[in-house]
Amino acid sequence: MKRLLVTGMFTVFLLCGILSLESRPAYIYLHTIFLPDVPEAPSDLTVSDATVNSLQLTWADNSVNEDGFEIQRGTASGGPYPTVQTVGADVTSFTDTGLSEGTE
């Protein structure tokens, strides 16, 4: 599913009026929201120190506003690739252990 997300600051107006026999004013609801920029994707993924059951992943962190990175692993080309670990913001490496033959 493709997400259509616009970033920036927006002001939302909600104007409501009620007709009644009494003279009551309508009300206006005003709310400003801020949608931060979508983080840039990491790049330059490299694999090193590969053994039969582990490997080291490193990448370039191209963003300043990410919450973290999901490390995903699968056993078939095209997936599924379930998340095996989540690392924090500004982390640029991960050692994946417990691998078996056929892991992608």
User: Any bridge partners for residue 69, and if so which?
Assistant: 87
Residues 11-60 pLDDT 10s? 666 665 655 656 666 666 667 777 778 899 999 999 999 888 899 999 99
Q: Which long-range contacts (CB under 8 A, 24 or more apart) does 11-19 make?
A: none
pTM for this predicted structure: 0.66
Burial class (CB in 10 A: 0-12, 13-18, 19+), 69: buried
Structure tokens at 46: 């490299």
3 or 77, higher pLDDT: 77
